[in-house]
Amino acid sequence: MINNKAGSTINSQELFEQQQQTVTPRAPIIIATDLQTPANIGSIYRIADAMAVKKIIFVQKELNDFSKNKTIIRTSRNTSSIIKTEYWTHEKFDTDYQSLPELIALELTTNATDLLKAKLPKPCSFIIGSERYGIPDNILQKCSSAVKIPMYGNNGSMNVSHALAICLYEWHGQHTNKGE
């Protein structure tokens, strides 16, 4: 018999039971500004579910309800129907942002801290920006800080949904099952 050090694949029921054993703190809120790509939006829903995020706020110039978009539904694997979703205009964000937990920008800025060296607050809200333009300045100015992901290759940035996944994973590494 061969000694399999990696183990065997587990089925979805076993995975679900393992996930129920994890003590999960209240995960951050995701604030997504001016996203354009349905596949990214669907991926963000799927990541939100995987990381126990309870709410996503989409801040948009023009309100657009994503609940019927087939690409988003398919990419999210229907998690878009599970995660609480709010749609805010930029004007609503400007008036209501203070009701949210501490705002942390996931953005390349002159003052951004390396994500792996940052002490991420609990609770908080992670803000991500559009695929092309990033986080608008008026929203960035309301953030208490910014974090960036260290990059080791030639490219200086990564897909917004991938960056969010890394950021949420680091947040959980700092806060999940720590008895805080």
Question: What CATH number is associated with residue 106?
Answer: 3.40.1280.10
Distance CA 163, CA 173 (A): 15
Q: What is the pLDDT, as a whole number, of residue 13?
A: 81
Q: How many domains does the chain have?
A: 1
18 domain-assigned: no
Q: What is the pLDDT, as a whole number, of residue 54?
A: 85
Given a cut of 70, whether residue 24 has pLDDT beyond it is no
Degrees, nearest 5: CA angle 11-6-14: 20
Average pLDDT for residues 44-64, to the nearest whole number? 92
Given a cut of 90, whether residue 34 has pLDDT beyond it is yes
Residue type, 16: F
167 domain-assigned: yes
158 domain-assigned: yes
131 domain-assigned: yes
Given a cut of 50, whether residue 164 has pLDDT beyond it is yes
Q: CA 63 from chain center: how many Å?
A: 20
132 domain-assigned: yes
Distance CA 131, CA 68 (A): 21
DSSP lists the bridge partners of residue 59 as 33, 88
72 lies in which domain range?
26-175
96 domain-assigned: yes
Taking only the tens place, the pLDDT of each residue in 116-150 is 999 999 999 999 999 999 999 999 999 999 999 99
Cα atoms found within 13 Å of the Cα of residue 171, Cβ hemisphere only = 27
Distance CA 3, CA 23 (A): 32
Place 180 in a pLDDT band, splitting at 50, 70 and 90: very low
168 domain-assigned: yes
102 domain-assigned: yes
Taking only the tens place, the pLDDT of each residue in 79-122 is 999 999 999 999 999 999 999 999 999 999 999 999 999 999 99
pTM of the model: 0.87
Question: In the chain, where does DSSP find H-type helix?
Answer: 12-20, 38-50, 70-76, 90-96, 137-140, 160-175
Rounded mean pLDDT of the chain?
A: 90
